[in-house]
Amino acid sequence: MSTRFAAQGYSLPHPPHRLPVLGDIVGVDPRTPIQDSTALAARLGPMFERQILGRRFVFASGADVVGELCDEKRFEKFLPPGVESLRDIGADGLFTAYNHEPNWRRAHDLLRPAFTAGAMRGYHRIMVEVADDLIEHWERLSRNSSPTDVSSDMTKLTLETIGRTGFSYSFDSFASVETHPFVSAMVGALTYNQRRSLLSVPAFARPLFARSDRRYSRNKQYLAEVLADVVRTRRQSTGDFTDLLQIMMDAARDVDNPNALSEANIGYQILTFLIAGHETTSGALSFALYYLATHPEVFERARAEVDEVWGTGSPEFGQVPKLRYVRRVLDESLRLWPTVPAFGRAARAQTVIGDGYRMDAGDWAVVLVTALHRDPVWGDHPGEFDPDNFLPERIKARPAHVYKPFGTGERACIGRQFAIHEAVLVLGTILQRFDLRADPSYRLRIQERLTMMPSEFRVTPSTRR
Ligand code: HEM
């Protein structure tokens, strides 16, 4: 009998077929499960099983098997334990909704128009304003030759961007040196839930975790307060809003709208967007800046493009997608460090994938994107940073489904265009305005939380002469 995931009606794949299995013997470092599993994928092959703290996980990382798992006719999104545990915060919000929950379709249909390529035009001005806040902050640092933590600044920028574009709500992120308490509460709450999902603690041992349980309650309470403040601020405002919040509030008042969401679900969507809309892009920007700062030839080429396409002014909307090389830098950074490093897929009906691996209806596997992005289809040195991997002719020469930073199918990232426009705009702005000096002794270290971020990577920006 396989373990049932009651809420989703899914099961773990049936006991070992011919997959390499690795047990707990090597131990699992809770701080680096993705990096450890990625290293294992290189040894164990395109599909393997791993016992993590007594639970079985099937990982898929080979281009062929992932190609099959991305076939929407045979497979669908699955919430692995680490993601399912986030339902305590996101419930049936878009990211954590089960496929069968009606609010997923409603929210998807309601909000999709706000994420088309054309809709980005409406966000461009605010994105430029937030990038200007970053410029001001970095110009102050430049005057004192002060280094700054890149992930922390990118988090300020992306939180501010999603807050202002999606909810016309400012966190005033750049007003303080410290990380905004929303971010600390979010990271604390996500990490707590993820660790809890891996570690099954018997009831008698629960008191040992009383302190972290209490901290979690406080974090959750704080997130709820921010959420209430976002809604209260809107209710008290007059003016013509057209953002995500307004779309949801207008629909809720319209009795004929089949996609109207309840007040509770609107709350889950707000939290979902505030979290999914900033943490991921922040990591992507931070990795791209790491590669730019440590690859002078790439930096110069990217800067030459910005100078040619933008000149010295602030970019118009249409000038952002014209930064083709900067876009390749971003794509390549997301290849090496996809900030959402894994996603789950479950079989819709009994099927066989890869080298004869049987999956029954409901069996699930985790696509390990970090390892997929290092598959041999990426050449002989897949670990090396090379933006030209994304030249159009090279993209065409590769099979489909080998590049998956934004997930796949119907449940793929709704914010993809948003993230790309924001990230290219910000990278272009930094290249246009600043030289970056990184500590030459720094070696890339990665912090794994819900997403991945460079850890303690600092640059000293200096205003370009
Ligand atoms: C570089 C930045 C980003 C990356 C790498 C990324 C990655 C992903 C991935 C891999 C998924 C699918 C997860 C799964 O299958 O379980 C996803 C879903 C989602 N993302 Fe993103 N994301 C990014 C930016 C954004 C932004 C900016 C927003 C919002 C403004 C956003 C909102 C969402 C939402 C709501 C979902 C759930 C969609 C659904 O299931 O219908 N993401 N993202």
Domain membership flag for residue 84 = no
- Asked whether residue 104 falls in the same domain as residue 225, the answer is yes
User: Is 416 part of any domain?
Assistant: yes
- Say if residue 129's pLDDT is above 90: yes
**247 and 363 share one domain:** no
User: Do residues 368 and 389 both lie within one domain?
Assistant: no
Q: Which of 110, 413, 416 to mutate to test the pocket of ligand 1 (most atoms within 8 A of CB)?
A: 413
CATH number at residue 350: 3.30.43.20
Question: Residue 393 sits in a domain of what CATH number?
Answer: 1.10.630.10
Residue nearest to atom 7 of ligand 1 (CA): 406
User: What confidence score (pLDDT) does residue 196 get?
Assistant: 81
Q: Is 82 within a domain?
A: no
Closest C-alpha residue for ligand 1 atom 42: 415
pLDDT at 226 over 60: yes
Indicate the helix (H) or strand (E) that contains 95.
none
Pocket test for ligand 1, best of 100, 280, 418 (most atoms within 8 A of CB): 280
What confidence score (pLDDT) does residue 28 get?
A: 66
Whether 404 has a pLDDT exceeding 70, the answer reads: yes
What is the identity of the amino acid at 99? N
Nearest protein CA to atom 3 of ligand 1, as residue: 280
Between CA 423 and CA 158 the distance in angstroms is 9
68 in the same domain as 119 = no
Q: Which sign does the torsion angle of CA 174, 176, 177, 180 carry? A: negative
Give pLDDT, residue 30: 73
Q: Are 419 and 280 in contact (CB under 8 A)?
A: yes
Token pair for residue 209? 């975790």
pLDDT in tens, 438-455: 999 999 999 988 799 999
459 with 311, same domain: the answer is: yes
Give the three-class secondary structure for 370. helix
- Residue 81 within any structural domain of the chain: no
Q: What is the pLDDT of residue 355?
A: 84
Instruction: Tell me how far the alpha carbon of residue 335 lies from the centroid of ligand 1, in angstroms.
Output: 15
Q: Is 312 a catalytic residue?
A: no
If one counts every other C-beta atom within 10 angstroms of the C-beta of residue 27, the result is 9
Q: Do 161 and 66 lie in a common domain?
A: no
Residue 259 has pLDDT above 90, yes or no: yes
Residue 51 pairs in a beta bridge with 56
416 in Cβ contact with 284 (< 8 Å): no
Of 428, 447, 339, residue with least CA distance to 134: 428
Look at residue 334 and tell me if it is in a domain.
no
> What distance in Å separates the CA atoms of residue 248 and residue 108, rounded to the nearest whole number?
11
Q: Whose CA is nearest to atom 11 of ligand 1?
A: 413
Residue 253 C-alpha to ligand 1 middle, in angstroms?
A: 27
Domain boundary at 372, 395, 430, which? 372
**Statement: residue 15 has pLDDT above 50:** no
One domain, residues 344 and 302: no
The total number of structural domains that make up the chain: 2
Same domain, 223 and 98: yes
pLDDT number for residue 22 = 54
pLDDT recorded at residue 5: 37
**Beta strand residue intervals within 182-291, DSSP E:** none
Do 244 and 134 share a structural domain?
yes
How far is it, in rounded angstroms, from Cα 243 to Cα 219? 27
pLDDT digits (tens, 9 = 90+) for 337-366: 999 999 999 999 999 999 889 999 999 999
Residue nearest to atom 16 of ligand 1 (CA): 343
Q: Whose CA is nearest to atom 37 of ligand 1?
A: 95
Q: Where are the strands (E) in 170-281, listed by range?
A: none
Q: State the pTM of this model.
A: 0.93
Give the per-residue pLDDT at 18. Answer: 55
Assess whether 427 and 353 both reside in one domain. Answer: no
Cβ atoms of 46 and 377 within 8 Å: the answer is no
Measured between alpha carbons, how far is 362 from 11 in angstroms, rounded to an integer? 5
Q: Whose CA is nearest to atom 30 of ligand 1?
A: 277
148/286 Cα distance (integer angstroms): 12
Residue-level pLDDT at 21: 58
Q: Is residue 379 part of a domain?
A: no
* 179-213 pLDDT, tens digit each: 899 999 998 998 888 888 776 666 777 777 788 88
Rounded to whole angstroms, the Cα distance separating 149 from 163 reads 21
107 CA distance to ligand 1 middle (Å)? 14
Q: How far is the CA of 219 from the centre of ligand 1 (A)?
A: 23
> Average pLDDT in the 126-136 region?
97
280 is catalytic: yes
- Separation of 117 CA from ligand 1 center, angstroms? 15
Q: Whole-number mean pLDDT of the chain?
A: 91
pLDDT for 25 equals 44
- Predicted pLDDT of residue 31: 80
367 and 251 belong to one structural domain: no
Q: Which is the catalytic residue, given 59, 287, 406, 418?
A: 406
Across the range 213-223, mean pLDDT stands at 94
Distance 325 CA to ligand 1 centre (A): 23
Instruction: Assess if residue 80 is contained within a domain.
Output: no
Whether 406 is catalytic is yes
367 forms beta bridges with 60, 343
Q: Give the per-residue pLDDT at 201.
A: 67
Q: For residue 130, is pLDDT > 50?
A: yes
Q: Whole-angstrom Cα distance, residue 165 to residue 173?
A: 14
pLDDT the model gives residue 319? 98
Closest C-alpha to 131, from 105, 158, 104: 158
Domain hosting residue 36, numbered range: 1-75+339-372
Q: Dihedral through CA 140, CA 144, CA 150, CA 153, nearest 10?
A: -30
Residue 331 in any domain: the answer is: no
Per-residue pLDDT band for 275 (boundaries 50, 70, 90) equals very high
- Whether 114 and 18 map to the same domain: the answer is no
Strand-pair category, 364-368 with 55-60:
parallel
The pLDDT, as a whole number, for residue 23 is: 52
Query: What's the 311 CA to ligand 1 centre distance in angstroms?
Result: 32
* Measured distance CA(375)–CA(64) in Å, rounded: 10
Looking at residue 9, its pLDDT comes to 45
Pocket of ligand 1 (CB under 6 A): 77, 94-95, 108, 162, 272-273, 276-277, 280-281, 284, 339-340, 343, 405-407, 411-415, 418-419
